[in-house]
Amino acid sequence: MGTFWKEVKSSKGADEEVGCILCGDFNAAPSGSVYQHVISTPIPSTNLTLKSAYANYASASGTTPTPSKATPAGGRARRAGAKQGDNGSAAGEPPYTTYLPSSNMVVDYIFYAGGLTLTDITEIPPLAQGEGLPNQHLSSDHVYLAATFT
């Protein structure tokens, strides 16, 4: 990634800040070594450290979605005023990004750094009691994550 970053920086003006987004299914819990490595190790050849867009999810929403008797609306509602990740508050990540009736896990992330300001993230949809993913409303075994940056 260091070589890539050098190439990107060389194509920009000396005082232009470059943004970086890294997202995907990392198959790693927030408490695990992969997550901790991503948020604590600077991008090679830079002094930038990635932050999780969802790191303050629990505190920004005031509540966390938990299994309920309500049927999900598809998870498409957006939450204005989402807070910027705090570079490592794993406890603030959503309660799940994949959900089986027997267990739930957070393994999907949007990390960012550089000249980006996080302005919005997608809500994690609630699930009916005993419901897992995929289901009749959500066709994937993972909820989708989306973030808006300026």
Assigned token pair, 124: 């994690």
> What is the number of domains present in the chain?
1
23, amino acid identity: C
> Is residue 98 in some structural domain?
yes
Residues in the chain: 150
> Is residue 2 in some structural domain?
no
> Is residue 12 in some structural domain?
no
Per-residue pLDDT tens for 139-149? Answer: 999 999 999 99
> Is residue 67 in some structural domain?
no
Per-residue pLDDT tens for 85-141? Answer: 333 335 689 989 998 877 889 999 999 998 899 999 999 988 887 888 999 889 999
Domain that holds residue 108: 19-62+76-149
Distance, in Å, from the CA atom of 82 to the CA atom of 43, rounded to the nearest integer, reads 25
